[in-house]
């Protein structure tokens, strides 16, 4: 634990309860990470990078995998509070239902930093900062590319949404829809959740191919690359040609989407860095050392990648995930 106030509180608390959140040495920062799960390649990379970033800083990082269930995340946060950790990282699976448990963390004087998703709250002081992309802009970037690609051709789009209730799913849908609204030749013919996973997205895409009909599908927009990989499998098994007859655009920039682009089965991805924990640790260390107030939103970039650089991008990234 770092800050003097915490040392006083901790010493008192540690006299009373066993299993205090002390790192190996009393000066070591102890951080609890309530992680959503491992639903996608991007999520698994975020966890791995968080461990690397903690290791590099000598931080004792305690990761709890919630298997995509909010009640498990809330339980993990309460455990971290009881352990008296110095700070908590939270990747909130959905955007509502956090006020009570975050108020308990504030009561215990434990700062919380949100990673890669946002929460809906009337009290923005419940968390110290958020490290996340602008998911509305990610949706706009995807739709602008598609609009450019189809020109004035009529194009029926299938949208595979992320987890119901997740801020990024709502925002990526909003951004995409905003650009579609300004392009009369783009029409979202179906929009359904694939829960950010390959398997669920494959099932959903199989059923949409049956109901919409392959020839009526001009493009697929998936809120993450893993769902697009599942959709590509479904399209290929149905005898369709994703990346050629059916345009694809998704988000994350995981190695497998670069491989699909290099093989001509996908067209575009909007990258999301898996390194959300590094900036979070930096702002936490400054805050805990001398009270430096961080920016409320540390925004990560959303660059677009296309098939023309996919081969090189895949070669560079495949060992990083
Ligand atoms: C986005 C993040 C999303 C990724 C998915 O910030 O929350 O969650 O795009 C992951 O791959 O499931």
| Predicted local distance difference test score (pLDDT) of residue 20 | 43
Band of the pLDDT at 321, cuts 50, 70, 90?
A: confident
**Residue 165 token pair:** 């209730």
| Predicted local distance difference test score (pLDDT) of residue 4 | 46
Burial (CB < 10 A; 0-12, 13-18, 19+), residue 190, is middle
What is the rounded CA–CA span in Å between residue 249 and residue 137?
A: 14
The H or E element containing residue 42 is helix 41-57
**Residue 138 token pair:** 């990610």
Query: Which class in CATH covers the domain with range 135-272+306-317?
Result: alpha beta
Q: Which residue is closest in CA terms to ligand 1's atom 9?
A: 224
**Residue 152 token pair:** 């004035």
CA 20 to ligand 1 centroid distance, Å: 32
Q: Which residues pair with 252 in a beta bridge?
A: 271
Is residue 3 predicted with pLDDT exceeding 90?
no
| Domain range summary for the chain, segments of one domain joined by + | 4-132+274-300, 135-272+306-317
Is residue 6 predicted with pLDDT exceeding 60?
no
**Residue 31 token pair:** 């951080």
Question: What b/e string do you get for 78-102 counting C-beta neighbours within 10 Å, with b at 16 or more?
Answer: ebbbebbbbbbbbbbbbbebbeebb
| Predicted local distance difference test score (pLDDT) of residue 24 | 53
Atom of ligand 1 at shortest distance to CA of 276? 6
Q: Which residue is closest in CA terms to ligand 1's atom 1?
A: 116
CA 273 to ligand 1 centroid distance, Å: 10
| Predicted local distance difference test score (pLDDT) of residue 273 | 97
Band of the pLDDT at 40, cuts 50, 70, 90?
A: very high
Alpha-carbon distances of 216 from 36, 206, 316, rounded to whole Å: 36, 14, 36
Atom of ligand 1 at shortest distance to CA of 196? 12
Same fold, 4-132+274-300 and 135-272+306-317: yes
pTM here?
Answer: 0.92
Q: What percent of the chain has pLDDT over 70?
A: 92
Q: Given 3.40.718.10, 3.40.50.1220, 3.10.20.30, 3.40.50.2300, which CATH number is that of 4-132+274-300?
A: 3.40.50.2300
Ligand 1 site residues (CB inside 6 A) read 39-40, 42-43, 116-117, 133, 168, 196, 224, 226, 251-252, 272
């Amino acid at each position: 634990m770092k800050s003097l106030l915490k040392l006083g509180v901790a010493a008192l608390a540690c006299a009373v309860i066993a299993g205090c959140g002390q790192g190996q040495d009393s000066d070591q920062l102890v951080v609890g990470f309530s992680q959503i799960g491992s639903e996608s390649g991007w999520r698994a990379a975020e966890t791995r990078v968080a461990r690397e970033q903690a290791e590099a800083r000598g931080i004792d990082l305690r990761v709890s995998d919630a298997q995509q269930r909010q009640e498990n995340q809330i339980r993990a946060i309460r455990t971290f509070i009881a352990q008296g950790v110095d700070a908590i990282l939270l990747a909130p699976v959905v955007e509502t239902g956090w006020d009570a448990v975050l108020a308990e963390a504030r009561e215990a004087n434990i700062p919380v930093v949100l990673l890669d998703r946002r929460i809906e709250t009337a009290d923005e002081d419940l968390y110290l900062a958020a490290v996340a992309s602008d998911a509305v802009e990610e949706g706009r970037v995807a739709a602008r590319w598609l609009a450019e690609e189809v020109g004035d051709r009529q194009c029926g789009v299938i949208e595979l949404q992320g987890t119901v209730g997740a801020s990024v799913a709502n925002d990526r849908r909003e951004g995409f829809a905003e650009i579609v609204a300004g392009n009369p030749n783009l029409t979202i013919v179906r929009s359904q959740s694939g829960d950010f996973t390959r398997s669920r997205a494959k099932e959903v895409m199989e059923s949409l191919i049956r109901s919409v009909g392959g020839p009526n599908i001009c493009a697929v927009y998936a809120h993450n690359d893993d769902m697009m990989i599942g959709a590509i499998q479904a399209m290929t098994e149905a005898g369709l040609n994703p990346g050629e007859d059916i345009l694809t655009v998704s988000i994350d920039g995981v190695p497998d989407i670069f491989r699909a682009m290099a093989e001509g089965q996908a067209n575009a991805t909007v990258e999301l860095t898996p390194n959300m924990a590094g900036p979070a640790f930096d702002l936490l260390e400054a805050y805990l050392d001398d009270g430096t107030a961080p920016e409320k939103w540390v925004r990560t970039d959303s660059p677009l990648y296309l098939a023309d650089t996919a081969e090189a991008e895949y070669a560079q990234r495949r060992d990083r995930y």
